[in-house]
Structure 1
Amino acid sequence: MSRRSSLTVTAAFAVSLAAVAGFAPTAAAGPLDLAWTALPPLFQEQEQARTQDRLTVTVADTNITRADGTYELKCGPTGGTHPEARSACTRLDEFAGEGKDPFAPVPEGQMCTMQMGGPATARVTGTWQGRSVDATFSRKNGCEISRWQNLVPVLPAARG
């Protein structure tokens, strides 16, 4: 590709990116200036949504020393009192990237194996991906055990 074609493509990309971001160029802005000035607002919006991830995780009867209790989990930036905050935020990011809701209850009428995974219970409240969360977890059947295990390390890997 020639240098002129390359600049034309770059300019076209920058203008379209600027239009999406709502950037109004000045007369002195060059094609590369448009691209770099349009990007920060996009990233700021994503970071603002990310800073809303604040969860309270309350866990009981896990049969694991020091796993029971109430923890704050903050993602974006990672923080709080959760013992595995970084790994827990990474796991939640995976769900978000897949477009899945890790806090959704087992669907009504779902067939589940009749097995008991132990007495562990958990409740997660707060905000994730800009929406309110109030979910309860148990290990009373195969569906609930699977739901719990999918959320490890947000929830501890409980033993039966």
Structure 2
Amino acid sequence: MLLRSLVLAAALAGTTAGAASAVPLPVPPLPLLSPSDQQADQRADRQSVPRSDSLTLTVSRSGNPAADGTWELTCGERPGGDHPAAAEACERLAGFARAGEDPFAPVPADRMCTQVYGGAATAQVTGVWQGRRIDARFSRANGCEIDRWKNAEPILPSVRG
């Protein structure tokens, strides 16, 4: 803005000084941020602010008795909670955040999924991730749900089936 004002002032001074041949200088356009640049800046700002994510995971019928139960996971400066793979789970969540992906988004209703049953395992994840409330349910009822579960490992446990 200051540069534009200075250029404009200089151009006006040249024309008011009585020089008949003086041509006003063109005012250069100001660089504007494109929407994608603004979004990238906002993502960088969110990533640079330390945030504490806190999730509760309830897993049942996984086929792995050690994986069934309710686990707490906190990610911030240091992984915490009683999640059996807290450091790895927090790193996976950080990877999703860096990529701008949402591991808790449900499978779109219009997606075609293979009818492959992956077992009776279910999980519910509640809490706060990236500053927003999470209430996600996972199953292994079809190919899409199996892929969604595997994509969320090690946040969710590996299961048999």
Does TM, normalized by the shorter one, top 0.5? yes
Paired amino acid for 1:61 = R
SS of residue paired to 2:149: helix
Name the structure 2 match of 1:103.
104
Q: Take 1:114 and 1:43, find their aligned partners in 2: how far apart are those partners?
A: 39
Please list every run of 5 or more consecutive structure 1 residues that lacks an aligned counterpart in the other structure: 1-41
Cα deviation, residue 109, structure 1: 1.1
More helix by share: 1
Q: Supply the AA of the counterpart residue of 1:73.
A: L
* Superimposed CA distance per residue, residues 99-133 of structure 1 (whole angstroms, 9 cap, x where no aligned partner): 00000000011100000000000000000000000
Which structure has the bigger radius of gyration? 2
RMSD value, Cα: 1.6
Counterparts in 2 of 1:2-151, with a 5 A limit? 46-47=49-50, 50-51=51-52, 53-76=53-76, 77-151=78-152
For the structure 1 residues 129 and 58, does the alpha-carbon distance in structure 2 shift closer, same or farther, using more than 3 Å as the test?
same
After superposing on structure 2, the runs of 4+ consecutive aligned residues of structure 1 that deviate more than 4 Å are 42-45
Q: List per-residue Cα deviations over 1:133-159 (Å, max 9, x = no partner).
A: 000000000000000000000000111
Q: CA offsets per residue over residues 21-78 of structure 1, 9 Å max, x none?
A: xxxxxxxxxxxxxxxxxxxxx799611xx22x00000000001131000000000121
Q: How many residues align?
A: 116
TM-score (norm 2): 0.69
TM-score, structure 1 length as denominator? Answer: 0.70
